[in-house]
Structure 1
């Protein structure tokens, strides 16, 4: 059994993880979305244009996630040259998923320290994004979204660890694309719907259930690595 394969369960799990991480997305990116919207000249703020720009931002962002998944999974093919190394990558991925769960439930914020790893890259990319503003055309929105996709984010890094463990560029890209699609609902809704969704995602009970589900999935991945389990499956 390959717990990081490209079958429906892993892709569905990646989608759900993105959905459950919506509270973090709203907190980190909601303000950016609002700022970009208000940066559009009032005379050009038609519902159709704003919807197109919103979709463009997210299309670019998910494209960057997908590319990152393929890149790190390619690195995984180099690292996982032996069965022991592959198992090590899968253990690392499971641990990162557990850290993601602890962060979502607000039980431990150590994952924020992981975000520091991407700040050096972001310092080089941020000026590129600023040159694309103000955004008034969809190609600009896609470009800015592609830059935005590299914003340091502990949840994204947790998913990239899972992509790394697949040691397969196609699988890594698919996992990150599924995760990115899962984050869409939290970033596409606006107004009253956004507040209602935000309140639901931020509710302690929702966070707890989400965290327990992710931990259970990560533990299942670890169990599948046990020799006796592999023998019977």
Structure 2
């Protein structure tokens, strides 16, 4: 079951890459443009994206560990089923969001702006990036950017069963976003055009919607 969820999280990251380019693409491009002329750009992008993945993995571990600990203390398995149902609903909402049928997840993103207002000034203090390693903490800070795609994947981590599994799910999600984010540069515009194509977005949303519905149905059968 976990392997299926890890694969699904990777797929969501891959299919939602158009949203990633919209949210983080400008930052990744800025990292590339701010690279000193005598240095290659790809190490900066690698460390920046590695920082993002570290943050996603950390958040996933925290969510999985907290929920697992609370359910163990309460000894209520029924509560975990409700949480899994919530995760399935978030997947369905994400599918509607990616397919541009309904933009409700944007409201959830606004909740995260409260924390982001405190974190974003820290990232600005790291610029300009003089060495690739400096892009690592910069990417870690930007990993906390409010994003409906990240929040949806995070609900899976919360019901993964423990901190390790929660980390694996968010790591898989982050790896799914990597191909698009590493191609920032000359191929960015053409790739962004493809990923934001309505047909591609609708196909991606259909795949995610199917997974959400299957998950919801499996949870329903356990009540």
TM-score range, shorter chain: over 0.9
CA distance in 1, matches of 2:91, 2:155: 8
Match of 1:20 among 15, 18, 23: 15
Normalising by structure 2, we get a TM-score of 0.93
Residue 176 of structure 2 is matched in structure 1 by 182
Count matched residues: 220
CA distance in 1, matches of 2:109, 2:219: 28
Contact 1:6 1:174 in 2 (8 A): no
Question: In the alignment, does 2:162 pair up with 1:171?
Answer: no
Stretches of structure 1 that go unaligned for 5 or more consecutive residues are none
The Cα shift of 1:31 comes to 1.1
The Cα shift of 1:148 comes to 0.6
Match of 2:205 among 192, 196, 211: 211
Relative distance call for 1:191 and 1:133 in structure 2 (3 A) is closer
Stretches of structure 2 that go unaligned for 5 or more consecutive residues are none
Residue 56 of structure 2 is matched in structure 1 by 65
Match of 1:35 among 30, 34, 37: 30
Residue 147 of structure 1 is matched in structure 2 by 141
Q: Give the alignment of 1:56-205 within 5 angstroms.
A: 56-80=47-71, 81-205=75-199
CA distance in 1, matches of 2:143, 2:184: 20
The Cα shift of 1:167 comes to 3.1
The Cα shift of 1:192 comes to 4.4
CA distance in 2, matches of 1:76, 1:84: 13
CA distance in 2, matches of 1:185, 1:74: 29
- Structure 1 runs (4+) deviating above 6 angstroms are none
Comparing 169-178 and 193-202, the one that deviates more = 193-202
Q: SS at the partner of 1:133?
A: coil
